[in-house]
Structure 1
Amino acid sequence: MNQNMLNLFNINSLTGELTVKALIDYEEMDEYEIEIQASDKGFAPLTTEKGVIVKIVDVNDNAPEIEVTSFSSSIPEDSRPGTTVALISVNDLDSGLNGKIICTVNEDVPFILSPSLKDKMFSLVTKSPLDREKQSHYVLTIIAKDAGQPPLSSEKTISVVVSDVNDNSPEFSLSPYTFYVTEGNDPGASVFSVKASDRDDNDNALISYHIVRDGGGENKVTSFLNINSDNGDIVALKSFDFESLKTFQFQVVATDSGTPSLSSNVTVNVFILDQNDNAPVILYPVSSNGSAEGVEEIPRNVNAGHLVTKVRAYDADIGYNGWLLFSLQEVTDHSLFGLDRYTGQIRTLRSFTETDEAEHKLIILVKDNGNVSLSATATVIVKLVEPKEAFAASDVKSAAKDDEDNNVTFYLMITLGSVSVLFLISIIVLIAMQCSKTTDYTSKYLQETNYDGTLCHSIQYRSGDKRYMLVGPRMSIGSTIVPGSHANTLVLPDRRRTSGEVRVYRLQSNQVHV
């Protein structure tokens, strides 16, 4: 045996037993051919030689080996299923079942090992779509296991990064946005802000903002708005006025910097909040040169509770800012006049006496209920006149007030007047029909040329079988009736006669005899 054989095998010189002297490795050599020489002990020993072939039987003493021959550490998230990520090569020095390898990857990942056409080669491929926004990094464990008994296995870990593609549009934190801005804001100051985010990465998530300006009549207000393209802060270039603009809306667009870029828009609703920036305006008495003054004439004989006038005012603000209260700031006699603090009505508190002044001055304060209330004053001059003068003044004043009424009041008056005329005509027709049915004659008032306009007076008297009615101007107590006077006399038929007996005589001295 050569030296190599002598290191591995040993033979008993007396018995010829061949034993293993050192560790034998199948993977180094699976068969040995040993030359054995045998000799006797004669004076001239004789020898013979024989070759012995020793075959090594394999045992599963080698674990599989894994090698990554090709690998892409980053894969786009829009890769289709079946995209190759890496090529895996496995090897086992054992033979037979001991060298048969099964290769797998951990199951909680969207990757799978696919056998290649070449023996002991596998491809690591995607088995489902990837989404970087859900998971951007995977740690893959590749396991190679042989079929020996007991089986041996080995593992190899690789890391795969999912690279971003611009597949997400910017998303606003609210949709729609609703903002409340107090009127009188400082021009050029930021009034509100919008914010959008993008789930993509790097430039794909870099957002810029702009306001949609379509030039329409409803969006003219957007010409007074500017937006910071980087952070979404919106600046108003002018102050808002609640009385002229109460609400408006516009669109803001957020665009990312991806290729191609994606965008989304949001509606912004803005409500202007009222401030107490308008003082009450006096409607009556009529304002003139910043002051309001009116003159009211009332009869001296009115009773307590008589409505003198009503101070009318309005406030352009709303809510508490526009809620008006009336108060008497100055009055010549507090015992004569009272003012309703909510309606502005001025009424008498008592009847007037002969000692009361003929003219009274009332200064009414009208103020709103704002945190810092604003106010206006009105002056009402009340003149006491005799009843006849008051009636004439009332007619003139009514005519003047009619001119101030609006169209609605004018049409209402026409309607009411028409209804009244129709009603009056109906009454007259009914009276005429009723009078035409009666069998008695009625007298018509015959006005004398010297009639002074006072009411008529009638006196009835009887002479023989006739009855007389004297119709004439109202006479004072103690007046006498003189036969043959110019008074109009209506002679009535005697009802004791039969209904058919009616005699008519000529008219003498304004007397009618029947």
Structure 2
Amino acid sequence: MYSLVTKLPLDREKQSKYIITVVAKDAGQPSLSSEKTINVIVSDVNDNSPEFSLSPYTFYVTEGNNPGASVFSVTALDHDENDNAQISYLIARDGGEENKVTTFLNINSENGEIVALKSFDFETLKTFQFQVVATDSGTPSLSNNVTVNVFILDQNDNAPVILYPLSSNGSAEGVEEIPRNVNAGHLVTKVRAYDADIGYNGWLLFSLQEVTDHSLFGLDRYTGQIRTLRSFTETDEAEHKLVILVKDNGNVSLSATATVIVKLVEPKEAFAASDVKSAAKVEEEDNVTFYLMITLGAVSVLFLVSIIMLIAMQCSKSTDYTSKYLQETNYDGTLCHSIQYRSGDKRYMLVGPRMSIGSTIVPGSHANTLVLPDRRRASEEVRYIS
């Protein structure tokens, strides 16, 4: 009995079939033999995960796609066979804020074709990414995932929007008043507009579609500035109408128009109109100044009240001190007058109380004479004599 054994592990993905010839030979002379051919088939096990053809995938989708139409697809391959190689696809949805867009995507589980359930808008969504999972049908099943990056391409689906001039009823129409004596090159106004598209689709060009006098006004095609080409004369009309065409640079160009009415006024009238325009701003500044003045006045009043109270307190202390040391029983204690005189190098001050009607100073009264120190002798002390 003999057995056929393997030397190395078999891999069906490398070689699925072996043809083996077994020879049996005796040791006689001459030797006789016979042979047998054995076909060895290697059966498959699920030892390979699905592999995507690209990793990651990058797709470019033009905005405005038809909802429900296929936009792109992914493909995976499994090297196993039969059920072990049968792949199903699904989109990973974790419910996070970043993957909210995946709720508008659907994938064919058999072939990996991805369908968008809504139309993409470049102005609201420019790029997003998600995960696709491929799983085989083996036991146990094996899976693999891949990242899909999607970039939305802009197309010219937005017309220019006029920002100025803009009247109260929402139409792109405005009125500009300029002095009649302006020189050539004077800036009348500037038409402002924007386009939500990007690149060439959002590049705006300005042109004069209609003007009453081509010799008076010029328009910069890139900035939208309207300037005078020459000085005005007395024969020129007092009112001019300019229709400006704003056009983007898309393959299918979209446009909008704005109307500017230019009125020529005398210089004084122009200044008056300018004053009216700035009246609101001046009024606002005056209100701020008014509140500042009120605040400053309140602070000043508090300061003055504090100073007056401080002076009153000092005077009260001074009165108490005087009445403590100078008050006599024969007068009301108020010092109403004093007499100063000099004797030699000393100065004297005679302090007299307010006398009652009919009263006189009698010898031996308590009237006080104060000896004041001479300023030339700063160290001389004050003496009291009666």
TM superposition shift of 1:390 = 2.1
Match for residue 246 of structure 2? 366
Q: Secondary structure at the match of 1:305?
A: coil
The gaps in structure 2 that reach 5 residues or longer are 283-386
The answer on whether the counterparts of 1:291 and 1:377 sit within 8 Å (CA) in structure 2 is no
TM superposition shift of 1:394 = 3.0
In structure 2, relative to structure 1, the CA distance for the partners of 1:334 and 1:284 (3 Å cut) is: same
Q: What is the number of residues matched between the two proteins?
A: 283
Report the AA paired with residue 272 of structure 1.
Answer: I
2:13 pairs with 108, 133, 144, which one?
A: 133
1:164 pairs with 33, 40, 44, which one?
A: 44
TM superposition shift of 1:393 = 2.4
Match for residue 183 of structure 2? 303
Question: Structure 2 matches for 1:238-277, cutoff 5 A?
Answer: 238-277=118-157
The two structures, once aligned, show a CA RMSD in angstroms of: 2.1
Q: Secondary structure at the match of 2:184?
A: coil
Distance 1:322 1:400 in 2: 35
Report the AA paired with residue 260 of structure 1.
Answer: P
1:386 pairs with 245, 266, 271, which one?
A: 266
The CA deviation string for residues 212-238 of structure 1, in whole angstroms up to 9 with x for no partner, is 111111111111111111111111111
Match for residue 107 of structure 2? 227
TM superposition shift of 1:395 = 4.2
1:343 pairs with 208, 216, 223, which one?
A: 223
Q: Secondary structure at the match of 2:273?
A: helix
Q: Secondary structure at the match of 2:159?
A: coil
Report the AA paired with residue 311 of structure 1.
Answer: V
Question: Structure 2 matches for 1:328-477, cutoff 5 A?
Answer: 328-397=208-277
Report the AA paired with residue 58 of structure 2.
Answer: T
Q: Secondary structure at the match of 1:123?
A: coil
> Larger % of helix: which?
2
1:327 pairs with 202, 207, 210, which one?
A: 207
Report the AA paired with residue 392 of structure 1.
Answer: A
Question: Structure 2 matches for 1:178-257, cutoff 5 A?
Answer: 178-257=58-137
In structure 2, relative to structure 1, the CA distance for the partners of 1:348 and 1:401 (3 Å cut) is: farther
Q: Secondary structure at the match of 2:13?
A: coil
Work out which of the two has the higher radius of gyration on C-alpha atoms and give 1 or 2.
1
TM superposition shift of 1:399 = 6.6
In structure 2, relative to structure 1, the CA distance for the partners of 1:137 and 1:401 (3 Å cut) is: farther
The CA deviation string for residues 252-298 of structure 1, in whole angstroms up to 9 with x for no partner, is 11111000111111111111111211110001112655521111111
In structure 2, relative to structure 1, the CA distance for the partners of 1:122 and 1:378 (3 Å cut) is: same
2:196 pairs with 290, 294, 316, which one?
A: 316
Distance 2:82 2:281 in 1: 75
State yes or no: 1:142 paired with 2:22: yes
Report the AA paired with residue 331 of structure 1.
Answer: V
Distance 1:159 1:355 in 2: 111
Report the AA paired with residue 194 of structure 2.
Answer: Y
Distance 2:262 2:95 in 1: 57
Q: Secondary structure at the match of 2:213?
A: coil
Report the AA paired with residue 127 of structure 2.
Answer: T
Distance 2:178 2:21 in 1: 106
The CA deviation string for residues 95-123 of structure 1, in whole angstroms up to 9 with x for no partner, is xxxxxxxxxxxxxxxxxxxxxxxxxx322
Distance 1:400 1:151 in 2: 125
Report the AA paired with residue 163 of structure 2.
Answer: L
TM superposition shift of 1:349 = 0.8
The CA deviation string for residues 94-152 of structure 1, in whole angstroms up to 9 with x for no partner, is xxxxxxxxxxxxxxxxxxxxxxxxxxx32211111111111111111234455567766
**Structure having greater relative contact order (Cα 8 Å, sep ≥ 6):** 2
Distance 2:45 2:110 in 1: 22
Report the AA paired with residue 350 of structure 1.
Answer: R
TM-score with structure 2 length normalisation? 0.69
In structure 2, relative to structure 1, the CA distance for the partners of 1:395 and 1:168 (3 Å cut) is: farther
Distance 2:232 2:132 in 1: 70
Name the % identity.
90
The CA deviation string for residues 314-349 of structure 1, in whole angstroms up to 9 with x for no partner, is 000111111111110111111000111111111111
The answer on whether the counterparts of 1:183 and 1:273 sit within 8 Å (CA) in structure 2 is yes
Larger mean Cα displacement after TM superposition, 287-296 or 361-370: 287-296
In structure 2, relative to structure 1, the CA distance for the partners of 1:341 and 1:133 (3 Å cut) is: same
In structure 2, relative to structure 1, the CA distance for the partners of 1:288 and 1:164 (3 Å cut) is: farther
Distance 2:281 2:215 in 1: 29
Report the AA paired with residue 211 of structure 2.
Answer: V
Q: Secondary structure at the match of 1:122?
A: coil
The gaps in structure 1 that reach 5 residues or longer are 1-120, 403-514
Report the AA paired with residue 326 of structure 1.
Answer: F
Report the AA paired with residue 162 of structure 2.
Answer: I
Question: Structure 2 matches for 1:33-112, cutoff 5 A?
Answer: none
